[in-house]
Amino acid sequence: MPHTHLALRGEHDYNLAIANNLFATATLIQILQHPTLTNLPPIPCCNELSIDDCPALESIPASDIITHLLLCDLPSLKQLPNTPNLRILSAGNCLLIDNIPNTTNLIELHIFHMPLLKAYGATPNLRELFITSCPMLTSIQNTPNANSVILDNLPLIARVPKHTNSTEYTLRNLPLLYIN
């Protein structure tokens, strides 16, 4: 199957893609600035999904083949989709998400401004960890293989596991910090 890139900006592009059944074959999907989008159709071939500035989006369908997921400015998104083969997750300004499910295949995790996030699952294969501005997060998982760890503005973090393999290790604005 050929690689198909679907880039949509706004409601008009989205409606054209729906009318032409383009979601059924796209392997890389980017959706930008769709103010009324609440749900996505099934995306059976998509392995990279990027969604930005869709304030009404509430859910994303589960997928066994998505490996890259980039989400930004989705204040109505209630939970992340079930994506067991996810390798890279970048999510920010997803205001209702309180948990990132366990995914052992994850190698990069970038999380910013998620005010309700309280936890994320075990990530033993993680190579890169970046978390900032998650005021309800209370613990950081052990990531023994991480090359880069950046933690910033996490006021409830009291303990951070030592990341011995990290070439970049930055901790900022962690008022209760104890490194273990």
Residue that the structure tokens 């393999």 belong to: 165
The yes-or-no verdict on residue 60 having pLDDT over 60 is: yes
- Amino acid, res. 32: L
Per-residue pLDDT, 111 = 95
Question: What percentage of the chain exceeds 90 in pLDDT?
Answer: 63
CA–CA dist 144, 127 (Å, integer): 9
Taking only the tens place, the pLDDT of each residue in 97-136 is 999 876 789 999 999 999 999 988 878 888 998 999 999 9
- Amino acid, res. 56: A
CA–CA dist 77, 85 (Å, integer): 20
